[in-house]
Structure 1
């Protein structure tokens, strides 16, 4: 089963790289086609939904594999929440992109006006755009209404995350209760202890699989809601940044592990 789960993950990572290239190409073209961008965005969301469905299917009896995947790097596993990223991290990425692009535009403006001694004529731009990854309508152009909706979504998402975190904590505490603790203590006396423990752990795996499915549902819902708030260009830029972050984190983790092995 672990091989099936890892193959599913590898297929997902390949799709991430493929869609990242397509998003980059779509955003770098001179004329942005909103219809084509929306089509590509729907494809990305559909693939995420399919991946979550496959994870749900593969986790019914072996959900623990997803909470500490062997196919991940140690760095990635250290950052996991319910077998993936926190849904609220999607919203934090929007804030980070918005802030970094505003900072870049301000830096370009100050450099052009103060350092280079260049003054801008009325209507002239700084020529560098807003710092958007793919060009075009930058995330720093979010309207007040968009920011208000994203903030509302952030609050709601964190509340849902906290509920799932509390349920996960309760399940972890249950492993110290009957029958596991007592069975472990009397393991040498009671021959049937292993059977009792296996049943308890199977139930624990089922409960964790349910949590994983709910966490993936929250991730998908949060992503979908963000994309509905953003314009097609902003949404594509956001998806591109998210995929770059995901793939880069995997590479950074592998690089750190290689250096750690070489040190010994």
Structure 2
């Protein structure tokens, strides 16, 4: 039993390290995307290079998903309620990550926000004859009808995929209340699980790991298909917004727990993770 606990702890440490490596890579992606967009807008960065950067970021996400899948072979429970996350983040999790449909919601939000900003600038120019020098090329507010139709079709398809996985998830959860787990728990005073229960729990965790891997595939495929619909500039803006959202939620959740409990959740105090008040964290939030 001690050996099993030690092994599980070792796996969880590897999963934590994998997560923080990904977060560090996302921080680098944010910087790279910002610089690329600034250069592109000043005509110092061509679309081909921007497209290469977008492709690399999508591939990095696929590599991260593959690494996660490898680490779920022996233990996947940690991914469904990670100790390295805040309660806020865990409350937003779906199958160990974000909902793929949330990618599309980010596009809708950006599209609406950019449209409002363009309208304000347009009205300002009419009232005061001001030209702010913004050409608006390839911004999210310039999505064409064809692009919106493709994104909407993708949204519908992704929601169907989510529903299928959610139903499977519900079935796996209900299995815990079936034989032999529930019956053994009723008839035995001892909390120690027998071989049959351990086998059933191992099978349950294995199924959950497969389910999470399937969810990761939907996440990766959704991201890839969205990028294919968007122009390089639009894709870069979309990826930048998504990564900022992820990083911000991580920091907001940690800050809320620090205010509520007077300290950061112990599971989030990962070696190598920057302190909340460090210059690096402030830079990430400000970007």
CA distance in 2, matches of 1:230, 1:182: 53
Is 1:232 paired with 2:232?
yes
1:9 partnered with 2:15: no
Cα 1:34/1:62, change in 2 over 3 Å: same
1:168-199 deviations in Å (ceiling 9; x for gaps): 0000001000000000011238x985222111
Alpha-carbon shift at residue 7 of structure 1 (Å): 0.2
Aligned twin of 1:188: 189
Question: What residue number does 2:124 align with?
Answer: 111
Looking at structure 1, the residues matched to 73 and 248 of structure 2 have their Cα atoms a distance apart, in angstroms, of 30
1:52 aligns with 2:52: no
Contact 1:187 1:193 in 2 (8 A): no
Residue number in structure 2 paired with 1:133 = none
Shift of 1:108: 2.2
1:144 — aligned with what? 145
Does the alignment pair 1:78 with 2:91?
yes
Q: Distance in 1 between matches of 2:212 and 2:145?
A: 34
- Note the residue ranges of structure 2 that are not aligned, 5 or more in a row: 1-10, 264-287
| Residues in 2 aligned to 1:262 and 1:68: alpha-carbon distance in whole angstroms | 22
Equivalent of 1:25, from 27, 32, 35?
Answer: 35
Give 3-state SS (helix, strand or coil) of 1:127's partner: coil
The aligned residue for residue 261 of structure 1 is 261
Encode CA deviations 1:46-93: one digit per residue, 9 max, x unaligned. 111111111111011211110000011111000000000000000010
Q: Distance in 2 between matches of 1:255 and 1:110?
A: 39
1:164 is matched with which residue? 165
Quote the offset at 1:126 in angstroms.
4.4
Structure 1 segments of 4+ aligned residues over 4 angstroms from their partners: none
In the alignment, structure 1 segments of 5+ residues that lack a partner are 131-135
Give, in whole Å, the separation in 2 of the partners of 1:110 and 1:76. Answer: 39
Deviates more, 1:103-112 or 1:63-72: 103-112
Deviation at 1:111, TM superposition (A): 3.4
Question: How much does 1:45 deviate?
Answer: 1.1
Q: Please say if residues 2 and 65 of structure 1, whose CA atoms lie closer than 8 Å, have aligned partners that are also in contact.
A: yes
| Aligned mates of 2:262, 2:187 — CA distance in 1 | 44
